């Protein structure tokens, strides 16, 4: 049986920040690293410029482009997409730059980035890997996120919900059973972090922050 199609899915709402060069870099680097990948944009703010960066653009008119809800809207978009897709999916921030192929080797149903230096919030959602299906897991994830305090809906709720669901007493490399999914925790600093912090010679991707982020795509 052939392996499922692989998608790169990016959630992005245009709030007036200069993200277009970063998005262009993200999708172009994904195609270089994984030429067979399909790039998909989920957005409440579609435009011709954004659409030109992706193989498929999905407008989400029911979600606002609002700083107060941007992270809970990302959760809703992710859970909705995961409920219907039959494809393997890499969910990524729009400021990720891919370096190499990310393997789906059958050892996990959900892959998350683990950062032990943040004991209260060790999961980072710069990249999330997902096999199709496993709806019990994704429904529970969404339910936790929408029930977190509203001030967190603007920031952090998308990754904090994973931590609430899985707990903090794990180490990178662990595989945790959560509902109907095997969740593998990948070391963030080996696989996807800022260039100056990466601890491996061949990470999946880089995730630059602050001034480095804007200069990287200049």
Q: What is the pLDDT of residues 30-83, one digit of tens each?
A: 999 999 999 999 999 999 999 999 999 999 999 999 999 999 999 999 999 999
Average pLDDT, the chain: 95
> Residue 154: pLDDT band by 50, 70, 90 thresholds?
very high
- The pLDDT, as a whole number, for residue 64 is 93
Report residue 39 as tokens: 């790039």
Share of the chain above pLDDT 90, in %: 91
**Rounded average pLDDT over 182-209:** 95
Picking from 76, 46, 72, the residue whose alpha carbon sits closest to that of residue 59 is: 46
The mean per-residue pLDDT over the stretch 142-158 comes to 97
- Name the CATH superfamily, with its identifier, for domain 6-216: Spore Coat Polysaccharide Biosynthesis Protein SpsA; Chain A (3.90.550.10)
Q: Are strands 110-114 and 123-130 parallel, antiparallel or unpaired?
A: antiparallel
Per-residue pLDDT for 3 more than 80? no
pLDDT at res. 4: 81
Query: What is the pLDDT, as a whole number, of residue 209?
Result: 78
Query: Is 217's pLDDT higher than 80?
Result: no
Closest CA to 75 of 4, 161, 151: 161
pLDDT at 113: 98
| Long-range CB contacts for residues 75-81, cutoff 8 Å, separation at least 24 | 75/141, 75/142, 75/145, 75/146, 75/157, 75/158, 75/161, 76/142, 76/146, 77/11, 77/42, 78/9, 78/11, 78/128, 78/138, 78/158, 79/138, 79/139, 79/141, 79/142, 81/9, 81/40, 81/42
Provide mean pLDDT across the span 193-210: 92
């Amino acid at each position: 049986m052939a392996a499922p199609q692989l998608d790169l899915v990016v959630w992005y709402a245009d709030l007036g920040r200069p993200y277009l060069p970063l998005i262009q870099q993200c999708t172009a680097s994904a195609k270089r690293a994984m030429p067979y990948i399909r790039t998909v944009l989920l957005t409440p703010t579609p435009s011709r410029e954004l659409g030109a960066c992706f193989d498929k653009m999905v407008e989400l008119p029911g979600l606002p482009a609002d700083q107060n809800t941007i992270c809970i809207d990302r959760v809703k978009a992710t859970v909705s997409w995961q409920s219907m897709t039959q494809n393997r999916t890499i969910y990524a921030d729009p400021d990720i730059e891919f370096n190499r192929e990310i393997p789906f080797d059958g050892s996990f149903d959900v892959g998350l980035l683990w950062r032990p230096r943040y004991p209260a919030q060790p999961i980072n959602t710069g990249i999330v890997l997902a096999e199709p299906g496993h709806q019990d897991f994704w429904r529970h994830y969404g339910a936790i996120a929408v029930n977190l305090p509203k001030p967190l809906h603007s920031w952090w709720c998308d990754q904090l919900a994973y931590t609430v669901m899985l707990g903090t007493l794990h180490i990178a490399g662990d595989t945790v059973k959560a509902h109907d999914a095997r969740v593998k925790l990948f070391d963030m600093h080996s696989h996807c972090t800022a260039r100056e912090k990466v601890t491996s010679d061949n990470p999946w991707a880089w995730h630059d922050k602050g001034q480095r982020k804007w200069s990287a795509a200049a």
